[in-house]
Structure 1
């Protein structure tokens, strides 16, 4: 069982972006000390939901402050980046860290980012497959060239050359199929429950291995974590489940209400609306939020329902840096050892 932390660099009210970014790096250091396997940093632009606009940059800072823990991006938004440029940055972090970096990428959304960075709505709507293919070529060979709709250039050497397999954030059937077609592991979001995660993993198995869904039968290894998929979840431990839920219900709406409003469509389409209170209720009921016993049981249910063996826990939900560090420490001492006992 692999367990990591997932750091959104959440912009809770009253905290400056610079303070949040420094605290995010401190949280990675704390996660290493607490025994977590990895730490994943999110990327957002022009909003308070997450105040880190370059996950690879902050990952580099965190790698420089640590010695053992792996650090990844969850995710770098590929629709606003040149794939070769992103591959070069990933190669630097892989080489300089001794192989401790993992690149996670996603399609992103139809947000104003596309206008600001000049990549445009067409690249978002039609270009993700081409972008991902070029990224994989740049991460897997000594040279790279392109002759597609969105990228055309002569062959050039990759310096430094690297052999990395990116993780792909999957929120739709199309991205699941794309990841499966390339044999790339999926990153599944915390906004869906175990049943939907299991369905996406089955769909991946059908596409990747040409088998009908039906539990482990979809996977040649007999285990539906074959591709190394990862799932995000809220992780918050307290003396009692009631206390943990009470803390998150008091803090998370203050962040989510203004934060999610930062998603501004580039073309004037209606912005998706979310019932914030209902969403927090869902997160608390679905994910490991509670006493240590409750957290362990919740994670075990997810493993049993999905076959996943790698979870990353969003630990910032209380909105206070000291409480985040306490949460990381308590998860490390009260939850992780029990998950890693024989048979779990």
Structure 2
């Protein structure tokens, strides 16, 4: 099994920004010292939801301060940068870290980012497809050239060459069915979101496996990961009482800053799935942020040691995934308390989470035998 830690760097209005960043870096060092496998940094712009605007810079800093920890971008919003610049940065970090860098990517959902940086958000899916083609060509070929819809260049040679062959690992945050399909066609591992219950996670994996199988990928050996909020206390209620208000504010900031749920953006090409999710909540009479936060406490490994163990074992049993990315920082509580929660989780919870052979749950049957209507 693999265990990672999210370095979220979320800032409330009253927080000191330098302190927030220094705390996140401290959690990265603690993860390395405690024996976690990975740390993941985020990319956000113009919002306290996350104040790291350059995941490559932060990843480089964490890599330099740790010895064994792998560090990933979770995610790099790749349509906002030229793909060759990204390919160079990934290869550079791969070499400087001796192969400890992981490139997590996504197309982004924050409308303002695209407007400010002058990128047409409705092209984000096509751009991500082309960007990955450009980067993989640059990493795997001594010389490459490209004549695409968005990017054109004559023959170039990328320096430095990647240390990890054929290229550093690429993971994809995939939420909407169309992005899951795109990820599956390429056989890239998914990073599955923390707000989904286990059955919804399983449905995403079933959809992925059907399409990946059709395209010749070995679904038993794809390293999907599940993001989760995590925290160990005496009881779940103790953590809820201490962190619910902060978590609601944090999620409200996502809704406000992303702007993806505003009426004028509901019909944006490529983002229709988000509009449907919002409408379904409205029809059900639910206030999405509060309902989602309360659900998060129930479905994520938050609570007593035994509660965390039971929830994780259930997730492994249903999904077959054995790679978890834990967001201790999102629950707040101060640096010492968060590191103590990380320690208890590593020493008291993780040893009791049972592995399960992926072939027990992987859908390797013919596509006709799978059912994916729940998410399509």
- TM (norm. structure 2) is 0.83
Aligned Cα root-mean-square deviation (Å): 2.5
Distance verdict in 2 for CA 1:205–1:255, change over 3 Å: closer
- TM (norm. structure 1) is 0.90
Distance verdict in 2 for CA 1:24–1:277, change over 3 Å: same
Tell me, yes or no, if structure 1 residue 105 matches structure 2 residue 105: yes
* Secondary structure of 1:159 counterpart: coil
| Bigger proportion of residues as helix | 2
- Aligned-partner Cα distance in 2 for 1:237–1:227: 29
Distance verdict in 2 for CA 1:342–1:80, change over 3 Å: closer
Which aligned pairs between 1:142-157 and structure 2 lie closer than 5 A?
142-157=142-157
Tell me, yes or no, if structure 1 residue 234 matches structure 2 residue 229: yes
Which aligned pairs between 1:212-227 and structure 2 lie closer than 5 A?
223=220, 226-227=221-222
Residue pair 2:224, 2:321 contacting (<8 A) in 1 also:
yes
Residue pair 1:195, 1:305 contacting (<8 A) in 2 also:
yes
Quote how far apart the aligned CAs of 1:54 are.
1.1
* Secondary structure of 1:39 counterpart: strand
1:123 corresponds in structure 2 to 123
Tell me, yes or no, if structure 1 residue 192 matches structure 2 residue 196: yes
- Aligned-partner Cα distance in 1 for 2:311–2:263: 40
1:88 corresponds in structure 2 to 88
1:214 corresponds in structure 2 to none
Tell me, yes or no, if structure 1 residue 296 matches structure 2 residue 309: yes
Deviations 1:261-315 (A, max 9, x none): 1223599425976632211111100110101111111111111100101010111
Give structure 2 stretches of 5+ with no counterpart: 267-273, 279-286, 359-376
* Secondary structure of 2:23 counterpart: helix
- Aligned-partner Cα distance in 2 for 1:139–1:233: 31
Residue pair 1:244, 1:291 contacting (<8 A) in 2 also:
no
Residue pair 1:102, 1:166 contacting (<8 A) in 2 also:
yes
- Aligned-partner Cα distance in 2 for 1:114–1:62: 27
1:178 corresponds in structure 2 to 182
Which aligned pairs between 1:1-344 and structure 2 lie closer than 5 A?
1-109=1-109, 111-162=111-162, 163-210=167-214, 223=220, 226-264=221-259, 268-269=264-265, 275-319=288-332, 320-339=334-353
2:373 corresponds in structure 1 to none
* Secondary structure of 2:36 counterpart: coil
Greater CA drift, 256-265 or 70-79: 256-265
Distance verdict in 2 for CA 1:259–1:202, change over 3 Å: closer
Give structure 1 stretches of 5+ with no counterpart: 212-217
- Aligned-partner Cα distance in 1 for 2:255–2:176: 20
* Secondary structure of 2:155 counterpart: strand
Structure 1 ranges of 4+ moved more than 6 A: 340-344
Residue pair 1:70, 1:100 contacting (<8 A) in 2 also:
yes
